[in-house]
Each structure stands twice: as C-alpha cells, then as structure tokens.
Amino acid sequence: MAAQLTMDEARTVLDAALAKAVEIGQPMNVAVVDAGAHLVAFARQDGAILASIDIATRKARTAALLKMTTAQLGEAAKPGAPLYGIEGTNGGLIIFGGGIPLTRDGEVIGAVGVSAGSVEQDTEVAEAGVAALP
C-alpha cells in the first residue's frame, strides 16, 4: 500500500508553516494537499491577502501533481524550456516558489503551498512545514 498523508500529519505541516509565518511577521495562506492534490488542511492568517488563498492552494496542487517544487517548475516552464506553457493546464498551475512536495521514503505523499508574502517568504514558510513532516 502506498504511503499516505494523514490528517494529523497535514495539521503538523500546517501548524509549523503558520508558526514560521508568525515568526517572520508575514500573515500567510497555507494549503496542504494529499498525493492526488486534494485539499487536506488550509488556514488563512488574519491579514493574509485574500487573492492568495487560491494561489496557495494551486501551489500545493502543482507541487503534488508534478512531484517537484513550483520554483523548479518555473525553471522548466520558461520560454524555450521543455514545459513552456504548462501553467495553463490542469486548471492553472503555479510556476513560482512557495509550493513544495511532501515525501516519505522517496514517494510524494502530498504537498504544501504558501502565499501572501514575497516568493522568498512563501518558500521559507513552506520549507518550515516540510521540515515538520513526521
């Protein structure tokens, strides 16, 4: 049986990301999805940009579906690169940082997506969530 992301694990990832957002002083939207890119946990901190709710969720979906970070996809989707134009597929993918797969034993079991700060802040907060995965 393939490894699966549990609700408790998703909450652990979510809580760690939210704690990092508080630490850096940037309210964030944080989404955690399973390996099929279905939402498992989500939170919007007070003051986080409303438009970033969708962006955070799409970052998580993108990272889970393509089994790579959204930053890596951004490199592969530049003009002239092999995946140029992919962001227009699957209902809209995100090709800038802030979405990171969650893995166990080398298998993608889900992803976290963060949005509302700079790309660097989004990535830092997502990395904190990834680091907390049990």
pLDDT tens column, 56-109: 999 999 999 999 999 999 999 999 999 999 999 999 999 999 999 999 999 999
Q: How far, in Å, CA of 134 to CA of 27, rounded? A: 24
- The model scores a pTM over 0.85: yes
Domains of the chain: 7-131 (3.30.450.150)
The answer to whether 116 and 28 have CB atoms below 8 angstroms apart is yes
Q: How far, in Å, CA of 6 to CA of 47, rounded? A: 28
**Secondary structure (3-state) at 33:** strand
- pLDDT for residue 1: 60
CB-based burial, 76-105: b 16+ in 10 Å, e otherwise: ebeeeeebeebbeeeeebbbbbbbbbbbee
The answer to whether 112 and 17 have CB atoms below 8 angstroms apart is yes
